[in-house]
């Protein structure tokens, strides 16, 4: 199993600013995943973060808007850049160990 800690757990941000979300895992993992969960909706994969290489983004998500860092095997950050109210969502970090995926508790972002 894996224990995933995300910071911050929630934030209220002004439009036009950026927020960096941190994800710390208690074990070394190859892949880390970032998801977005818009209000009342399901989870959508933003990108996959591999240590030592650039993140792979899903359709509809771009690096300029959601830059990701993966400096080591236990840590990753997701930045939500130049925020607008449409970015208000829960952002979740996930890791895969064998066939199971584990999730952090999420970061609830409100953009005003």
Does 102 help bind another protein (rule: CB under 8 A)? yes
Q: Is the peptide bond before 8 cis (omega within 30 degrees of 0)?
A: yes
Q: How far apart are CA 104 and CA 111, in angstroms?
A: 21
Q: How far apart are CA 99 and CA 101, in angstroms?
A: 7
Task: State the number of binding residues for another protein (CB under 8 A).
Answer: 27
Does 82 help bind another protein (rule: CB under 8 A)? no
Q: How far apart are CA 14 and CA 1, in angstroms?
A: 36
Does 60 help bind another protein (rule: CB under 8 A)? no
Q: Give the nearer residue to another protein in terms of CB position, either 63 or 101.
A: 101
| Alpha-carbon 19 to chain mean position | 11
Residues in 18-47 at the binding interface with another protein, rule: CB under 8 A: 30-31, 33, 35, 37, 39-45
Binding-site ranges for another protein (CB under 8 A)? 4, 30-31, 33, 35, 37, 39-45, 48, 90, 92, 94-96, 99-106
């Amino acid at each position: 199993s894996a224990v995933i800690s995300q910071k911050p757990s929630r934030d209220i941000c002004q439009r036009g600013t950026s927020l960096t979300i941190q994800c710390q895992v208690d074990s070394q993992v190859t892949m880390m995943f970032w998801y977005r969960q818009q209000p009342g909706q399901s989870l959508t994969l933003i990108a996959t973060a591999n240590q030592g290489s650039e993140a792979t983004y899903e359709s509809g998500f771009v690096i300029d808007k959601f830059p990701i860092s993966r400096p080591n095997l236990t840590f990753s950050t997701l930045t939500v850049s130049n925020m607008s109210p449409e970015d208000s969502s829960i952002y979740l970090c996930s890791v895969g160990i064998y066939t199971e995926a584990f999730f952090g508790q999420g970061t609830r972002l409100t953009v005003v």
